[in-house]
Amino acid sequence: MTAGLDRLRGGTPAKRHNARTIAALTGNPGCTRRAVLDAAGVDKPKLSQQIGFPGKFGQSRFALARGNGFEAMLKADDCALLRSVLAECLRLDASGAYDDLGEDADDTLAARHGRTRTLLAAAAGAALIDHPLLTLDVAGQRVFLEPDLIAFQAEGRLHVVEIKSFAIVDGQADSAKVSAAAVQAAVYVLALRRLLEDLGHDPALVSHDVVLVCTENFSLQPAAVVLDVRKQLSTLKRQLTRLTSVSSLAAALPESVSFDLALPPADLIAALGHVEARYAPECLSACELAVYCRHEAAGSTAALGRPVREALGGVDTVAEALALAAGTATPAAEQAEAAALLQAAARLRAELL
């Protein structure tokens, strides 16, 4: 991490990226604010609280307990249950060693990453590698990824295994949850591939078929399915290359800009004003700062959602759209068609209401 980015964060320790934050980042690649804050490791939940626009990202203890219980059940007795579902799902031999690289503090990250490299370099070593520490280049920054995942090694190939406690009922699961899991798994596949490449192996050794282990029907019994994440992988790669280099963005910021949480709210809001956000209603479920950005975006057509913005001819503000509809504003050449449609729509609404 560069000094410039560290300066933005101030005295607080950096928040680390995980697959979820990267997935969210690629979900809205045009948002400079998110890219800069994430790269600088700013604690966005605390920041949003500090400026008086707290996001709603609580997690229920019940959900956590069930998720942990399910994972513990799968990993009990040297991963007996996990091995059996993997063997059944992939038709591969799932015996072999289990290595848990564990969780650890910030200062030993490099060491853990080193252990991950060693373990993976010795191909066909352990069969199940838990909590590996991976790295990924995001917006010009090398970030550590702490995947809550197991890499399953069999016949020289690696499969990413994602354990999720949502249910598959009669072969169907909540599509939003499955697609979120697929994007996260794709982040891990990508990071694992980069790592193998670094080690001089063929990156294709990491399979694009990831295994999703969920609960079946209304029980806690595991059910494993194979997800092909090639589509998510290509989207992810494209989005990652599109992310503007954060370092240059940070370098362009004035010296006074700081997101140190010790600063008063007014200063923090002023600092946020220097980094442009691209708010969309989807942010509300993906970014802790979204409530503030929504407040800031009040009166813009983007705040009403992309479909509305497009239907309004892509103009920026609600006032502008209404002026075009009323015929009080002169449309630019490229707006002529949209303006005519808006005027017709306004006429029809006025006629019928």
> Nearest 10 degrees: CA dihedral of 72, 75, 81, 85?
100
Q: Give least dist CB 4 to other proteins, A.
A: 35
Q: Which residue's entry shows tokens 């442009």?
A: 276
Q: Which residue has the tokens 């015996």?
A: 95
Q: How far is CA 106 from CA 149, 150, 237, 296, 301, in A?
A: 19, 21, 27, 35, 42
Sign of CA dihedral 176, 52, 18, 164: negative
* Counts of helices then strands in the chain (DSSP H, E): 14, 8
**Residues that bind other proteins in the complex, under the rule CB under 8 A:** 56, 58-69, 72-73, 165-167, 169-171, 215, 217-221, 281-282, 284-285, 298-299, 301, 303-305, 307-308, 310-312, 318-319, 321-322, 325, 341-342, 344-346, 348-349, 352-353
Smallest separation, CB 298 to other proteins (Å): 7
Task: Tell the smallest beta-carbon distance from residue 23 to other proteins (Å).
Answer: 18
DSSP 311-338: HTTT-SBHHHHHHHHHT-SPPPGGGHHH
**Shortest distance in whole angstroms from residue 350 CB to other proteins:** 10
Nearest Cα to Cα of residue 158 among 212, 112, 207: 207
Residues facing 212 on adjacent strands:
162, 225
- Shortest Å, Cβ 284 to other proteins: 6
Specify the residue, 266 or 298, whose C-beta has the smaller distance to other proteins: 298
Angle among Cα 31, 33, 39 to the nearest 5 degrees reads: 105
Is the Cβ of residue 264 or residue 305 nearer to other proteins in the bound state?
Answer: 305
Alpha carbon distance 14, 41 (integer Å):
4
Minimum distance from CB of 46 to other proteins (Å)? Answer: 17
Task: Identify which of residues 38 and 320 has a Cβ nearer to other proteins in the complex.
Answer: 320
Q: Which is nearer to other proteins, 4 or 281 (CB)?
A: 281
Residue closer to other proteins by CB (options 69, 114) is 69
CB of 305 to other proteins, least distance (A): 4
Counting every residue written for the chain, the total comes to: 353
In terms of DSSP bridges, do strands 98-100 and 222-228 run parallel, antiparallel, or are they unpaired?
unpaired
For residues 233 and 280, which CB has a smaller minimum distance to other proteins in the complex? 280
Cβ closest to other proteins, residue 53 vs residue 152: 53
DSSP state of 165: E
CA distance 114 to 133: 8
The answer to whether 274 and 8 are in contact (CB under 8 A) is no
Q: Which one, of 39, 51, 49, lies nearest residue 15 by Cα?
A: 39
Instruction: Provide the minimum distance between the beta carbon of 348 and other proteins in the complex, in angstroms, as a whole number.
Output: 4
Closer Cβ to other proteins, 253 or 304, answer by number: 304
